[in-house]
Every structure is written in structure tokens, then in C-alpha cells.
Amino acid sequence: MKQAPKHPVRLERQGNVALIVIENPPVNALGVAVRRGIAAALNAAVAHDKTDAVVIAANGRTFPVGADIREFDMVPQEPSLGQLCNLIERAQKPVVAAIQGTALGGGLELAMAAHYRIAVKSARMGLPEIHLGTLPGAGGTQRLPRLIGPELALDMMLTGNQVGAGIAAEMGLIDLVTDNDLRTEAVAYARSVAVTRPTSANRTHLVDGVGYMASVAARREQVTMELGANALAPHRIVDCVEAALLLPMETGLEVERSAFKDCIASRESEGLRHAFFAERAAAKFPEAAEAKPAQVDRVAIVGGGMMGSGIAIAALQSGFAVTLVEQGESGVNAALERIGAYYERSVAKGRLSEAQGAAALTHLQLTNKLDTLGEADLIVEAIAEDFDLKAQMLAEIGALAKPDAVIATNTSYLDLAALAEASGRPADTVGLHFFAPAQVNKLVEVGVHDGASAQSVMTAQGFARALGKTPVRARVHAGFGAGYIGNSILEAYRHAADIMLEDGATPAQIDGAMRSFGFQLGPYQVADMSGLDIAYARRQSKPRDPDARYVEIADKIVEQGWLGQKSNRGYYIYAEGQRQGVPNGDVLKLIAEHRAQKGITPRKFSDRDIRDRILLAIVNAGARLLGEGVAARPSDIDVVMMLGFGYPRSRGGPMMDADATTPSIIASRLSVLAPEEPALWGAAPVLTMLAQERQKFADLNAS
Ligand code: T1G
């Protein structure tokens, strides 16, 4: 018989103290059942004549991390979190919140509605709603300024950053930080306080009205400067903090409630919430049903170039013992220099303390001896992107690695299945495709070929998660160049751009159009940054699709010796050491000559044309990868494009964007462009199917 779900809230007693205990794993999200449970328990506790004080506590790893985000798209149910917080604040007996883990969003608001807050030393707290395109909607914008002042309150809400318990106590947010048993301390503390202390009555930071308004005005100006006048949530946060001074609590709460509703209804918040769940869904690999990640303590990386060193740093930063193998003395020294420079910069910028930097480096073994690989649990091959070199290296790795080790290749384009065969241990070999800079970029594509074992896949995925990365699964079939999800879509993106470049647009115009859409950089700025010779080498080594139009402009630029930022000259010209360039007139001349040679009369493209053509190419390529089973779900494509290629997060990614337009309209727009370049804009079968069945990509996310 199915076990009745335990109620997520229990009322316990310890003498004259009532304990309201929340238990809603995994993160005690404050869904409707939890809210109702807390309200009922509180009313019962306060009404009980043996109750002198109440403690609100949570079982599990954390105090509530906020409202249940999934409920934002549902019909609101009472009590709302705001109503529950008001009920707590108005309680006629002292209420103490006992915090462990991360008290975030509505969880911290609940604690601020309590009359007192105590926390374990390791606890952290924050209001990250801005990362979801919204603001604290349960009284946080009114109570936090009262507790810590406008300046610090605006900092916390506009950055969404977490603060530790120690800092929170210094700010006046927490009353007691303990190293002892939290529940015991909380009950003792509750017994020690005699009176309620409603936060709404706290005027400590509201007395200096002039100073308060100066903080508000300065922040409003800063937000407008940095984010523009239309940045909804940030501006509404400032308005609400202003209201906390100027309006009575009830009215301030109304202002907050209306601002919250506007933000939640915005396309931006919809996109950011989708991104939140898409990143979590991406980590759900089918192989998890068959295997668990094996323990990885020692990692070996073969190749200490930019990628190899970056992966080594990411592993050191996550506490792994790292062996980095490079060729010869000079290779070892170059890798040591690269990694050393990273730690020097991090210490200089205060990101790490000297001690932390030194401690990390004690776990690094740098060598030019491959036979050290026998000790590693996981080996990442990160040498040059050349099939023969990689195949030979993987064969050596396969021979040296211990029987239960997992072998990963960082190839971004080469045939993964063939490389796995070359290692002699295809079942133990998978793809681990990091994105530059590997110590920073959150995205890792886990390449899965037909012969890979579930254990190897899950161990690689587990390693990526342990590095704090977001792993996305990319299934590749024999004979297919890796390319995985990201680079396959990038090829379509670049191809669409190159066609417009050949037909009349300029690099700067195309880049400008994509920046105004929300990308940080346009395709030609990215090309210059990554090095034009790398892409050139790949084009030369890859068989051309005879049915696809080939644009030779990029090749001609490289053949002029213009390689991008590394040669201060590419699509743009760069002053020494500068990352911002000016359009390269010689390239414009080269393009004009190229068109004349091909008999192409340049035509005008509006920025909207440019965006539409590129986005249609991206969505269509995504649909093709879904049809080929390379991507498991559309939201995985969204995650790859947002984390790896700068697709604006507030839009939720290209596949979510396509749903906002609808697959039917996308399919009809593609049909207009398809005759121009069927390989790019000929609708993929999955898209045609969704359009015909009036379905959305989101319907495929559930699968
Ligand atoms: N609502 C619903 N589900 C949530 C959730 C939430 N707030 N937070 C986490 N989950 C699910 C998540 O999808 C995953 O599910 C599982 O919990 C574990 O999460 C009115 C408006 C706390 C730092 O923004 O940042 O309060 O994939 O894998 O890496 O003002 O979760 O297992 O099925 O992320 O250890 C504000 C969001 C909400 C915090 C833990 N709060 N959460 O990270 O685990 S808005 C937040 C996180 C709000 C009020 C407002 C992280 C974490 P599944 P996980 P983790």
C-alpha cells in the first residue's frame, strides 16, 4: 500500500516552546501545502496557553530556499507567502527562525517576518529573485531595508548575492550565530526572549529620510545607467525600497505585490524561470537508471594548453588531485606558467587568498611522464584538435589507464566513436567538451557514442557536476563528427551570417543586430576572439556538403594572414592588447571584390532580417539535432546556447523563443527562405511535425 505522503509541516513541543518543523525535500520549497501547514501550526501554537514562544525550523540540508517556483505559472492559492509572513509577524507570541543551509527568497522573507533569527555559522542567505526576473514578493522589499538599511538591502536584492551568517549578523539581519546544535539553541533562545518584535515596527534605518532617499536616488541612477530604463525587476526593486520609507507598511506591501505580479508576468521572468529548470533537467541522463557515478579522486589531464590548463584549474578549484601531463620540459613549464598566472591574478583580484592559491597548487602534479596516468580515476585528453594525434594519444592512454578508469576526450569536432575505438576501450571512453575559458564557463557537453557504458557516462557527468558545471548530454552516432549540440548549431548560425555577408551585409551590421537582440558579442567578434585560423583548419579538414552554398570570405581573410585578435587584425582591427576593434576596411574591400568575382549584386538587409534569418537557422538546426537524437530535449539546446554561446538568458534560449513565436509560424517563415539555402532553412522534420500537430517544443521537454 502506497505510503501516505508525510505532511510537510509538523508541530512539536519542547516544554513552553512550540516548534514548527518544515520537511519538504529536497530544498523545503514553500509550496501551498507547506504554507498552509505553517499557518495552521502557528495558529495552533499561539492559541495554546502553554506556548510562550515559537520556533520555525526545517529538517534536511536547508531552511526553505524560497517559494515553489513551479507555482508561479499556476493559479495562486492561499495563503500566499506574503499573507503567511504577515501572519507570522502579527503573532502574539515571539517567533524565532532557526536557519541552516541557504535561506533564500521567500525562505529569508519568512525568517524576516519572524521576530528573531538565529543561524548556524555555515548558513548563507540571500534574495536571488532578480535571477528569475522578479523581486522578493512576500514582504522582503519592505522588511529588509528596515533591518539592514537601504544601501545593503538594495545590494542584496539587485545582485541576488548570498551573505554568510557572520556578515548577516554584522548587518543586523541575524540575532545569533551558533556553532552548537541549532534546534537546541533555537529553543533556548526562544525561551530567553519575552516579547514579540515585529520587523514592520523597526524604524532604525528609516529615521534618516534624507540619507535613505539619497541611497535610493543613487541606485536608481546606477540601474538606469547599467541596465537601461526598461530593466523591469531592478527598477521595481528600487521603487519598492523607496516605498518602504515613504509609505506605511501595508501600502508598501501592496506596491510590492503589484510590482511582483508585473515582473512574474514578464517575458523576461518566464525566460529566466525556464532557464532555471532547464539547467536542472539537463542533468537528468537516461544512463542514471543503469549506473551511478564512480568515485573520482585523482584526475589526469593530458595536454596543458589553454583548454587543458583551464580544466586542471577547474579540477583543483573543486578539490581534486590533478596530474597534468605535457610534452617535454618546455611544455611542462608553459603549463605551470599558465596555471601559476591564473592563481596570481585571482589572488591579486581578491578572488582567492594567498593560502587558498597555494593550497590548490599543492594538489597539482605536473609531469611529462605518461606512465603516471595509471593512478588516475578519470583521464581527460586535451591535446590539439587533430584526429591522428588524438587517436594515437588515446591509444596510449587506453593502454596505461587502470581497468576501472574513465577516459574522456575534449574533442569539439572529431568523430568521437572513432576516437573511442582508437583508445582500445570504447566502453570506458566518452566526450567531455569544455568551453573556453574552462575554469569559468559553466557548460560541459558530455559526448555519448553507441559503445559508451552507462557507468562511464555517469562518472563523466558526475565529474562535471563536481566542478560546478552544468553537464548536457549529446548523443553522437558513428561517423558523425562530434560537433555535439553547440558547435552544430554554431555552424548553422555562422552559415546564415556568412550568406548575408556575401549578399550585402557587413560584419559590423550583423554583429550589431545580434547584440541588439541580446547576445554580448556578434558572430564576427566571436570569430576574431576565438582565432580565425582554428575555424579555417576545421573547414579544410572537413568534407564539404555538396548541397550547401559555400562562402569563401572567411578563408580569404585567413589567407591574407588576418587571424583575428591574435594578429590584431581580422574582421576588425585591434589596437595592441585591446579586445574592442574597429571595422577592418581591407576586409570590406575583400568582400566587395569577392562579390564582384561571384557576380553578386549586394542587397540591403534590415537588422530584423538579419536576426530572423539567423534565429530561424538556429532553431531549425536545433530541431534537426532533436530529430537525430543528438539532443535529448529542446531545453538542453536552450541550456547549451545560453551557457556556451551567449544566447540571452532572459529569453530562455532559442527553442523556448521558438515556442513564443510558435512552430507553425517558424515553419512558414522557413518555407520562404528555404529555396535560398535548403540545407539551412529547409524545415527539419521535427519542426514540420510540431507545426502540423500544433504542438510546441516544450511538449518534447517532458519526454
Ligand atoms: N522551487 C521549486 N523547486 C526548486 C526550488 C524552488 N525555489 N529550488 C530548487 N528546486 C528544485 C530543483 O529544481 C531541483 O529539482 C531540486 O530542487 C534541487 O535543486 C515570493 C518570488 C537552493 C542553491 O531562487 O538556487 O522565493 O531537478 O539541483 O544545486 O519572494 O536550488 O531535483 O527535480 O538546484 O544543491 C527564490 C532557487 C525563489 C533559489 C540548491 N529562490 N534554488 O542548489 O540543488 S522565488 C531561489 C537554487 C521566491 C518570493 C520569491 C538552488 C539551491 P530536481 P538543485 P543545488
Task: Give the β-pairing of 17-22 and 443-448.
Answer: unpaired
At residue 3, does pLDDT exceed 60?
no
The string of pLDDT tens digits covering residues 47-88 is 999 999 999 999 999 999 999 999 999 999 999 999 999 999
Question: 109: Cβ below 6 Å to ligand 1?
Answer: yes
Report the C-alpha gap between 216 and 238 in whole angstroms: 7
What is the secondary structure of 170-229 as a DSSP string? HHTS-SEEESS-HHHHHHHHHHH--S---GGG--TTTS-HHHHHHHHHHHHHHHHHHH-T
Report the C-alpha gap between 385 and 191 in whole angstroms: 66
- Catalytic residue list contains 226: no
Would you state the cell numbers that stand for residue 80, as one nine-digit string? Answer: 500566499
| DSSP 8-state symbol, 67 | B
Give the other-Cβ count within 10 Å of 667's Cβ: 23
Which residue from 509, 469, 443 is spatially nearest to 647, judged by alpha carbons?
Answer: 443
Q: Where are the alpha helices (DSSP H) in 318-447?
A: 328-348, 354-362, 387-400, 416-423
277: CA distance to ligand 1 center in Å? 9
Question: 141: Cβ below 6 Å to ligand 1?
Answer: no
Strands, E assignment, 641-689: none
What is the secondary structure of 120-151 as a DSSP string? ETT-EEE-GGGGGT---TTTHHHHHHHHH-HH
Question: 543: Cβ below 6 Å to ligand 1?
Answer: no
Report the C-alpha gap between 37 and 353 in whole angstroms: 45
* Residue-level pLDDT at 617: 98
Question: 129: Cβ below 6 Å to ligand 1?
Answer: yes
Residue type, 361: L
Q: Which residue has the cell 534565429?
A: 615
- Catalytic residue list contains 129: yes
- Among 35, 68, 69, say which to mutate for ligand 1: greatest number of ligand atoms within 8 Å of CB: 69
Report the C-alpha gap between 665 and 125 in whole angstroms: 44
At residue 5, does pLDDT exceed 60?
no
Residue 29, SS3 per DSSP: coil
- Among 30, 35, 65, 285, say which to mutate for ligand 1: greatest number of ligand atoms within 8 Å of CB: 65
The string of pLDDT tens digits covering residues 685-696 is 999 999 999 999
Q: What does the pLDDT average to over 394-417?
A: 96
pTM above 0.75? Answer: yes
44: CA distance to ligand 1 center in Å? 29
Would you state the cell numbers that stand for residue 500, as one nine-digit string? Answer: 548575408
Q: Where are the alpha helices (DSSP H) in 430-485?
A: 454-466
The string of pLDDT tens digits covering residues 538-567 is 898 888 888 899 999 999 999 999 999 999
78, 89, 129, 576: the catalytic one is 129
Given a contact cutoff of 8 angstroms between Cβ atoms, the answer to whether 199 and 62 are in contact is no
Residue 478 pLDDT class (50, 70, 90 cuts)? low
68: CA distance to ligand 1 center in Å? 8
151: CA distance to ligand 1 center in Å? 27
At residue 481, does pLDDT exceed 70?
no
The string of pLDDT tens digits covering residues 290-339 is 999 999 999 999 999 999 999 999 999 999 999 999 988 899 999 999 99
Q: Which residue has the cell 548587518?
A: 171
Question: 68: Cβ below 6 Å to ligand 1?
Answer: yes
Percent of the chain with pLDDT over 70: 98
Nearest CA to ligand 1 atom 34: 280
At residue 573, does pLDDT exceed 70?
yes
109, 270, 445, 491: the catalytic one is 109
Question: 69: Cβ below 6 Å to ligand 1?
Answer: yes
Percent of the chain with pLDDT over 90: 92
Q: Which residues pair with 366 in a beta bridge?
A: 324
Would you state the cell numbers that stand for residue 579, as one nine-digit string? Answer: 579586445
CA 92 to chain centre: 43
Which residue from 145, 148, 110, 108 is spatially nearest to 128, judged by alpha carbons?
Answer: 108
Of ligand 1's listed atoms, the one at least distance from the Cα of 81 is 20
- Report the C-alpha dihedral over residues 112, 113, 117, 122, rounded to 10 degrees: -50
At residue 2, does pLDDT exceed 80?
no
Q: What does the pLDDT average to over 629-643?
A: 97
Q: Which residue has the cell 534537426?
A: 624
Report the C-alpha gap between 424 and 420 in whole angstroms: 7
At residue 431, does pLDDT exceed 60?
yes
Q: Which residue has the cell 512574474?
A: 264
Question: 67: Cβ below 6 Å to ligand 1?
Answer: yes
Q: Which residues pair with 323 in a beta bridge?
A: 300, 365
H/E run at residue 654: helix 654-661
At residue 279, does pLDDT exceed 80?
yes
126: CA distance to ligand 1 center in Å? 13
Question: 81: Cβ below 6 Å to ligand 1?
Answer: yes
